Amino acid sequence: MLRSHTRRGLTVVCAAATILVAAPAAAQAATPAAPTTQTASSGIVTATFTFTTTAQNTYPSKTLAIAQSGQVFYDQPVSSRYCRPNAAVQPYCAPASTEPGQSSVHVLDLEHDGQPDVVLDLYTGGAHCCSVEQIFSFDPGTETFVLTQHDFGDPGEKIEDLGHNGRYEFLTADDRFAYAFTDFADSGLPIEILTFADRRFTNVTRKYPKLIAKNAAMYLNDFKHDHVDGDGLIAAWAADEDNLGHTALVSSTLAKELKANDLHGLNYSSGKKFVKALNKLLRKDGYVH
């Protein structure tokens, strides 16, 4: 559903919006172009996302309308608490897909209950940021669609049926490891998988051990071939392995690499300090229980 890009050792997904460049102070007010409309439907639900674009690549007007069996139950401006302030527009919040033939709005039965949900992809702008998913679920009590949203950060997400059972998962990565031990480009991010039900996201990563193991093997291979700045890579490997319950393996491997003087980073903690900081992060983020 979102475009993917590959950075060192990890294929992640990101929103396909144009990054905003702040306009000069003397520039005239941005002039909106003709509105763009994107539509998606499934079953009895149809969603229509309409937005305008200025010459400065800002999006001053965004609305979402949702109809069920032809009756409109939701029609509101689009905004998000995750959208960040920008010099040219407050706040900056863009459609994730603005190119012809692509869409930021989707209708999917995320909860596998026969009631389609509406998914809206947004992009908050800025370096290494940020993919936001807004989920609109129908509430029969109030007869409207209720918003739940999640900031997937720089990795973004893919919505896939990983279990091939008609249920959807959000395939992403743990953005908390970015910059934790090295620069962004050399940071490894552990795999993360979420589901959506009852208007909340739930981490179900440990239910997919084969995917975790594949991600861990990739990072360990990258670490073995990195002779300059591998701390960020082995950190992601350690998190993946801890998710598999291999805490003893993580401890013994780190001890071995420490003895061989292979734990080093650029302008970040290395050696014993790195191991201590990594173990602290693994406990804090719930990888080690």
Per-position pLDDT tens, the chain of length 289? 433 333 344 444 433 333 222 333 334 455 657 799 999 999 999 999 999 988 877 888 899 999 999 999 999 999 998 886 654 545 678 999 877 778 999 999 998 889 999 999 999 887 778 899 999 999 999 999 999 999 999 999 999 999 898 899 999 999 999 988 888 888 999 999 999 999 999 999 999 999 999 999 999 999 998 867 889 999 999 999 999 999 999 999 999 999 998 887 665 667 899 999 999 999 999 998 7
Quick check: is 40 in a domain?
A: yes
Q: Looking at residue 14, what is its pLDDT? A: 39
Q: Looking at residue 31, what is its pLDDT? A: 60
Q: Looking at residue 90, what is its pLDDT? A: 53
3-state secondary structure of 66: strand
Quick check: is 258 in a domain?
A: no
Report how far residue 274's alpha carbon sits from residue 185's, in angstroms, rounded to the nearest whole number.
18
Contact in structure between 30 and 55 (CB atoms under 8 Å): yes
Helix intervals (H) in the chain:
209-224, 231-243, 247-259, 271-284
Q: Looking at residue 144, what is its pLDDT? A: 94
Quick check: is 102 in a domain?
A: yes
pTM summary value: 0.84
Which residues form the domain of 13? 4-173
Buried b (16+ CB within 10 A) or exposed e, 82-118: bbeebebbeebbbbbbbeeeebbbbbbbbbeeeebbb
Buried b (16+ CB within 10 A) or exposed e, 4-33: eeebebbebbbbbbeebeebeeeeeebeee
Q: Looking at residue 131, what is its pLDDT? A: 92
Report how far residue 222's alpha carbon sits from residue 235's, in angstroms, rounded to the nearest whole number.
12
Quick check: is 224 in a domain?
A: no
Report how far residue 148's alpha carbon sits from residue 207's, in angstroms, rounded to the nearest whole number.
23
Note every long-range contact of 197-206, with CB atoms under 8 Å and residues 24 or more positions apart, other chains counting. 197/110, 197/111, 198/111, 199/135, 199/137, 199/146, 199/148, 200/148, 201/148, 201/150, 201/170, 204/169, 205/243, 206/243, 206/244
Number of domains in the chain: 1
Q: Looking at residue 91, what is its pLDDT? A: 62
Quick check: is 155 in a domain?
A: yes
Quick check: is 161 in a domain?
A: yes
Quick check: is 247 in a domain?
A: no
Q: Looking at residue 267, what is its pLDDT? A: 58
Quick check: is 21 in a domain?
A: yes
Report how far residue 60's alpha carbon sits from residue 97's, in angstroms, rounded to the nearest whole number.
16
